[in-house]
Structure formats: structure tokens, C-alpha cells
Structure 1
Amino acid sequence: MARRGAGEGSVFRRDSDGRWVARLVVEEGGRARRRTFYGKTRKEALEKLREAQRRVEDGGPVVDSSAPLSAFLVKWRATTLEAAELKPTTRENYATLCRRHLEPTLGHIALGKLTPADVEALVLAKRREGLSDATIRLIYTTLRRALDAAVRDGLVRRNVASAVSRPRVGHREAKVLTPLQAQQLLDAARGDRLFAFFAVAMGCGLRRGEGLALRWADVDLDEGLLRVGRTLSRTKDGLVFTEPKSARSRRTVPLPRQLVDELRRHRQRQLEERLLVASEWEDNDLVFPSRLGTPLDPRNALRAFQAAVTRAGLPMVGLHTLRHTCASLLLAQGVHPRVVMETLGHSGISITMDTYSHVMPQQQREAADHLAAALSW
């Protein structure tokens, strides 16, 4: 009998037990391997053979991997994820979500046995645990990204997570300070060595990491401009400077005149600090460094801010509230949403409109009044 080539199959009945056997020769790892399938009837064995042949034609594995999902995720974290072109903080977030939510819940299931129903059950379980919509979506995104790699590596034929709708994130209004509260906060923070940092964050809509990564080379006090080109993040390896959140996060923001004056005063105070520590100063050209010139830990910036919030007698909020307050105040002054989008570095105007929709009604009322004044009804 002639040797069968790769991709060819045969079906026969085994005399020993009467079961039908289907055999397929495939090329795996550069050599021919024989795969065997069984069925109670010829039709069942033939269907398994044809399914395997379709998989080969599509470039997929003959059979899905039987390795536990947890074992795959551990390897994925150490290889594919580590090599991915992602910010260090993003890689760490994905790895943490694997360890805390994916491996303990779905990890016992064989990679090839995972179903869309398993993914949906995971989403429902995390909702019952009370996790936020945003966290649940990130867990789903992590799993889907990992399974994309499993398909790429020929471990499974399809990504079952892609058959499940991405969990929705409900609309949440951004917390903002009223103009009175914003003034109270600035008054309470005045005199703090990070006062200029709080003022710039509120006046320019900067993210915490963007502000802490600013260099004096990024600030043009004569022209009144500030350039955002990087961000400071805490990772397992310590503080690192990374790329901004998105392409639009790289931006140039005009400085209000009062902030230009405040930054000049801040620079003078920084020079005095530098003289006090002398040779201990580490020159990184940072606008808002530690007392020794090194990058300021974001957690320390948050502690200083929350102390100012307490002194102002305001409800406890985070530093990101300053960014939201900037957008809210600009929109309340009638600034076009696209200008606000550019100032904050949003990737699209829909993000601006969705996030700050609650501060838009007054602008809509004014627009209707302008229309009424322009027409005779």
C-alpha cells in the first residue's frame, strides 16, 4: 500500500472492538504525525476526520490544547505579555488581573474545552462580587488578549472570548469641584511646596503622572505654553517615565497668566531648595520633583493633596478631580468642547462629551436662546 501524504485520511472498522477509526497524517513541527479519531459509527468517525482536515486547511491545530488555562496564562504572562509593546503599568495590570481573577476561576479548565458560556459565567460571577463595570471589562479584555495569543500559537482554533459581547461600562459622571470649592482648595493649599503642581493640574487639566513628569524644558514661561510629552508611573521596578496614554495625550497647553507667575515663583523656591541640599540634589530638570530633585512618588503627591482637601473642609476627592474640574470650568465658561478635548488630550470628542455631559445643559439652554434671538417665530 502506498504511504499516505500529509492531509490525507482513512476510515476503517477495528475488528477487536468494532469501533470505527479515522486516521489523519499531518505535518507538525516539521515532521509527519498521525492523528487518530474514534467513533461508534462510520459517520461519527468520518465527521471527526473532516473536522480535523478543515482545521488543517484553515491553518489551525488538529486538536485544541488540553493544557489547563492557568498553565497557559502563567506562560503568557512571562513571554507574550512581557514582550508586548505596552506601558509597564498596563502589563502589570493585565498580569494582576490574570493572577487574581482568571487563574483562580477558569484556570482549571482545559484550554481547548473553554467555551463562551464559561466566559459569560466569569462576567456574571464578577458582577455578583461587586466589581466595577470598568474592572470587569478589563478582566474580559485580558482574557481575550491572552486567547488571541493561543490562537496565534496554534493551541486552539478560535478565541471563545471573541464570541462574547464586551461587558458594558455604565456612564459615570466625573466628580468636579464647584468654582467656590476650587477656590477654597487653592486657598488651603497655598504655601504648600506642591501648590504650583495642584494649580497647574487644575489650570491645564493634566493627569497626575503628566504633571509629575514635566521638565522645565517642557515649559515656555515667555510664551506661556506647557508641552506634555511623557508621564510618570509607579511599577514593580519603581518609578518610570513612559509614553503618554495616547497619541493625543502629547499636546501643548496654554498657561493662564496667573500660572505663569506662579511657576516663576515656584522655580525660585526650587532653586532655594537646591542650595539647601547642595550636592545631594539630583538634577533631572523636573518641575515638580522631591526635595532632592528625584522624581516625586505619585502617592506622596496624593497625600499632600488630600491634606489640602482636609484643610479646605471639602469632601475627600482624588487628584484626578483637578483634571475634571478644569474641563468643567472651561465648559461652564462656554469654551467649545473640541478645545476642551485638545486641552485634556482626549482621544476623541465623544469622550469629552460623554464624561462631562452633566455640565452641558446650561450651554444648550444658551444656544437655544441665541437661536430664538436670531429668528422671528
Structure 2
Amino acid sequence: MYSTLARKHISDSDLGRSSLDRLTPRKVEAWVAGLRAKGLSESTVRSTYTVLRAVLDTAVRDRAIAENPAAIVKRPKVTSKEATFLQAHEVTDVIRHAEGSRYALLFQLLANTGMRRGEALALRWSHVDMTNGTFRVVGTLAREEGQLVVTDTKTAKSKRPFAMTEETKAIFQALRDRQREEREVAGSVWIDSGFVFTTELGEPCDPRNALRAFKVAATKAGHPDAGLHTLRHSAASVMLSKGVPLKVVSELWGHSSVAITGDIYGHVAPTVAADAMRTLSGAYSS
């Protein structure tokens, strides 16, 4: 992602074509303003600025410039937005409308774990321990320059283990059984990629196809604005509304800090807080 941002928004810009000794904080500010003028999202502008700053930090290290002009410029902000989510019965309805889709099992896994789409699609059978009932996120599958590649996780904490429930264990078993059948049908053209989620020929699944399939199911269920990340948000909302501590959700979701979890899922806080107050009052009256 960083290399793509660098090519599209740094190298191919007036700033990118400038010599290091001509870079100034004012030029960096003008460049950031230009990114916003293009209509780029706040997160994309911030990420691109982060790439530029890292590049110029290296230039300072190598003594190509005395100081980093980007470091003097205020980091572009990203406005925190509460996540949209579906109620538990609505998630169930969307998954029901996905029956028959190749990606129905993916949707079930996302709803039951809160994993990111790319994390689930990057799973390999070597990351799944059916005997001990655990599996582990170690990377994310994405399309870069036309190729599907497994890259590092979003944050260091995103590399995390999961304990299987009866539901997730059944999902993995269904996936294994389906692969076994498809391997027999494909014969010599089967590609033993080792991925958990594969095409009929054993290749990794394209994240874009998974999104398209979900949008079809969500639209049929009456939720045309829902995306795959909605399943992640919905799972977190269910956990928090059922009293699971914010710290636990933060760890399971692989957030770098509990503050991020609180910002994203602040809409659940009033319900949780009300339950907490009732628990406290009940303790004194019992």
C-alpha cells in the first residue's frame, strides 16, 4: 500500500520531482492541500504524508538533508467516525441470503471472529490447529500491481491467536471437506497453495470477489450500504453489548490501543454503561 501511495501521490507530483535541497515545510503543506483537493480521503492523505515523512527521515539519516521539512508540518488529521453495524439478527439474515455463494463460509467466519477480510483470506492450513482448537492471524491478503500477495498485518498486535468455538470449528471442517472434493475434481490442474479459502482450482480467493458476493447478499437482505467490514463492526458491537470488556475486544480485534477501540465503538458505550450502573446498584440492594 505504501509503495502504491508513493508512486501515485509522491513520485508523480511537483514535490516528488523537486530536489531535496529545495523542499520546505511550505511546499509540503501545499502538497498536502493538493492531495485534499483531489478528493482523497482523510486516511489516504495521512498515510501518504506518513510515507513522505519516512522517506525524508531516511534522507536525514543519510545526511542528504539537515532536517526533515515534513516533520515540521502538522500531521494531517483523520476524523474519528463511529462504525456502522448490523444487529445480530440482521447479520444472520445477510448470511442466509449468501447461501449458495462460494463465500458464505467466509462471511460466517468473519461474523464469528471479527477478523478483517484480508486476514481471513490470508489464512493457511498451517495456521489452523484443529486438534487443539486454535488458529492464528499472521498476514493479510491483498492485490498489489495486479497480483495477490500476502503482506504484513495492519499493526503488530494484529498478529494474534484465536480460540475455536464449535461454530468456527465447523466452518473450518466444511472448508476442508470442500477443498478435498474440489481437489479430486480438479486433478492435475489443482494448485496446492495451502490457503484455507481457495478457488475451485486451489488458488487464493480475490478479496474483491468476496466483497461483490457480500454486497449481493446484503442488498437482498435490505442492507445495501453494508460492506464486509460491517461484519467486523457488528461482531464487536455484539460483544460489547453482551458485557465483554473493551480491553478484551481490543486484543481480539488486533487494535494497537484500547483507545482506538473506544473511538470506533463509542456508540455501544451508553448501553454498556447503563448495564454497569444497574449492576452496581444491584450489588448494594442484594
Would you say same fold, with TM above 0.5? yes
Partner of 2:20: 111
CA offsets 1:285-323 (integer angstroms, 9 cap, x no match): 321111100111222222222222223231233222222
Equivalent-residue separation in structure 1 for 2:17 and 2:133 (angstroms): 58
Q: Structure 1 CA distance, aligned partners of 2:272 and 2:79?
A: 24
Between 1:335-344 and 1:364-373, the stretch displaced more is 364-373
Query: What does the per-residue CA deviation read over 1:2-57, in whole Å, with 9 as the maximum and x for residues that have no partner?
Result: xxxxxxxxxxxxxxxxxxxxxxxxxxxxxxxxxxxxxxxxxxxxxxxxxxxxxxxx
Higher share in strand: 1
Q: Cα 1:203–1:293, aligned 2, differ >3 Å: closer, same or farther?
A: same
SS for the counterpart of 1:262 is helix
2:92 aligned with 1:92, yes or no?
Answer: no
2:240 to 331, 346, 361: 331
2:157 is the alignment partner of 1:248:
yes
TM-score, normalization by structure 1:
0.70
Give yes or no for the alignment of 1:311 onto 2:220. Answer: yes
Matched residue SS, 1:241: strand
Counterparts in 2 of 1:266 and 1:107: CA distance versus 1, 3 Å: closer
Native 8 Å contact 2:118 2:141 kept in 1: yes
Are 1:97 and 1:142, in contact at CA under 8 Å, matched by a contact in 2?
Answer: no
Amino acid at match of 1:262: I
Deviations 1:341-376 (A, max 9, x none): 121111221121111111111001111222233348
2:46 to 124, 133, 137: 137
Q: Could you tell me the TM-score, scaled by structure 2's length?
A: 0.90
* Pair 262,129 (structure 1): closer, same or farther in 2 beyond 3 Å: closer
Please say if 1:204 is aligned against 2:113: yes
> Secondary structure of the residue that 2:13 maps to in structure 1?
helix
Cα distance change, pair 154–129 in 1 and its aligned pair in 2 (3 A): same
Name which one, 1 or 2, has greater alpha-carbon Rg: 1
User: Could you say which residue in structure 2 is the equivalent of 1:284?
Assistant: 193
Answer whether contact 1:224 1:257 (CA < 8 A) is retained.
no
Matching residue of 2:253: 344
Deviation at 1:138, TM superposition (A): 1.9
Residues 24 and 69 of structure 2 are in contact (CA less than 8 Å); yes or no, is this contact kept in structure 1?
yes
Once residues 234 and 188 of structure 2 are traced to their aligned partners in structure 1, the CA distance between those partners, rounded to angstroms, is: 39
Fraction of identical pairs, as percent: 42
What runs of 5+ residues in structure 2 fail to find an aligned partner? none
- Post-superposition offset of 1:185: 0.6
Task: Specify the code of the residue in structure 2 equivalent to 1:163.
Answer: I
* CA deviation profile, 1:219-270 (whole Å, cap 9, x unmatched): 2334432211222221126122233223222211123312322332332222
RMSD (Å) for aligned C-alpha atoms: 2.1
Aligned pairs, how many? 285
Partners of 1:92 and 1:254 lie apart in 2 by 35
Query: Could you say which structure has the higher helix fraction?
Result: 2
Task: Specify every segment of 5 or more residues in structure 1 that has no aligned partner in the other structure, as ranges.
Answer: 1-88
